[in-house]
């Protein structure tokens, strides 16, 4: 069974760059049956899609992030990574990694999330 | 951009009742609509995709309907474990995806 585990620094300062990783176990990230996505949730608020990466390496991002996000995949380490630049307090959120089924284009498996706080 | 609007923001209901949650899209999303359930301290769980198809392992008391711009999620008889926040998500503009702001289902 596929398992996703996010990890990150927990606390970063404004204007810095965030690096998060999602370790995938129980399956290959080179699979053609899943895409991979990052979604975030500010405390007490709703879900926001950040972006996705496809088995071809193609990526797609939420335009609201204004090109601050970069998603990549390291097949040798079974890691999906997210970089987010120019952080502000508005980026404080729980960050989730999730699989997106190619059949349904929905997020059918999620990690438990990693909390990021942006504060000086 | 497809804006997804859910109503109401909060719904107070009693166990055993039938409840209907609404999700409206700013432009047609055909049937490219999913519903998720999120309980406190947990990641969201996929309930419905394709507007009306239950995901694996989802009880039959959950049903989805609609197409175009108006969608509903119905829970036929609320169980205690169903009190949670529910989100709709459109993927008609895939790979661009948008979520609704959520409806909180609370115990009356």
For residue range A2-30, what is the model confidence (pLDDT) as tens digits? 899 999 999 999 999 999 999 999 888 88
Chain A interface, best mutation among B29, B43, B71, by max A CB count within 10 A: B43
Is the peptide bond between B8 and the residue preceding it cis, with omega within 30 degrees of 0? yes
- Smallest CA–CA distance, residue B76 to chain A, in Å, is 23
Residue-by-residue DSSP string for A26-67:
SS-TT-SSEEEEEEEE-TTS--EEEEEE-TTS-EEE-GGGTT
CA B91 to chain centre: 14
Residue B69, sorted as left (phi over 0), alpha (psi -120 to 50) or beta, turns out to be alpha
Q: How confident is the model at residue A76 (pLDDT cuts 50, 70, 90)?
A: confident
Contact across the interface for A46 and B36, Cβ inside 8 Å: no
Tens of pLDDT, residues A62-73: 999 979 999 999
Which residue(s) pair with B38 in the sheet? B85
Tens of pLDDT, residues A30-75: 888 889 999 999 999 999 999 999 888 899 999 999 799 999 998 7
Kindly give, in sequence order, each residue whose CB lies less than 8 Å from that of residue A35, ignoring residues fewer than 6 positions away: A52, A53, A54, A55, A99, A100, A102, B95
Chain B interface, best mutation among A1, A6, A48, A107, by max B CB count within 10 A: A107
pLDDT of residue B65: 98
What tokens does B35 get? Answer: 């519903």
What tokens does A113 get? Answer: 């999330």
**Cα–Cα distance measured from residue A16 to residue B73, given in angstroms and rounded to the nearest whole number:** 41
pLDDT of residue A106: 93
Q: State whether residue B81 is helix, strand or coil.
A: helix
What tokens does B94 get? Answer: 């895939």
| Cβ-based burial of B18 (10 A; exposed 0-12, middle 13-18, buried ≥19) | exposed
Q: Which of B33, B21, B28, B22 has the alpha carbon at shortest distance from B2?
A: B28
Count Cβ atoms below 10 Å from residue A32 Cβ, excluding itself. 10
**Cα–Cα distance measured from residue B47 to residue B63, given in angstroms and rounded to the nearest whole number:** 9
Contact across the interface for A110 and B87, Cβ inside 8 Å: no
What tokens does B105 get? Answer: 């289902």
């Amino acid at each position: 069974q596929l398992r996703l585990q996010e990890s990150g620094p927990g606390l970063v300062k404004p204007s810095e760059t965030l690096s998060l990783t999602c370790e995938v176990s129980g399956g290959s990230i080179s699979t053609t049956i899943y895409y991979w996505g990052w979604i975030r949730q500010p405390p007490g608020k709703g879900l926001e899609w950040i972006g996705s990466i496809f088995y071809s390496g193609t990526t797609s991002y939420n335009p609201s992030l204004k090109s601050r996000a970069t998603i990549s995949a390291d097949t040798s380490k079974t890691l999906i990574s997210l970089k987010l630049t120019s952080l502000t307090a508005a980026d404080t959120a729980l960050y989730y990694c999730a699989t997106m089924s190619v059949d349904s284009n929905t997020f059918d498996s999620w990690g438990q999330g990693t909390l990021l706080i942006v504060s000086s | 951009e497809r804006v997804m609007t859910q109503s109401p923001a909060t719904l107070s209901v009693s166990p055993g009742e039938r409840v209907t949650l609404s999700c409206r899209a700013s432009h047609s999303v055909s049937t490219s609509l999913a519903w998720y359930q999120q309980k406190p301290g947990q990641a969201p769980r996929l309930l419905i995709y394709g507007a009306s198809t239950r995901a694996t392992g989802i009880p039959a008391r959950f049903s989805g309907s609609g197409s175009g711009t108006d969608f509903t999620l119905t829970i036929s008889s609320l169980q205690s474990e169903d009190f949670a926040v529910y989100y709709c998500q459109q993927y008609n503009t895939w790979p661009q995806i948008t979520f609704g702001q959520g409806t909180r289902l609370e115990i009356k």
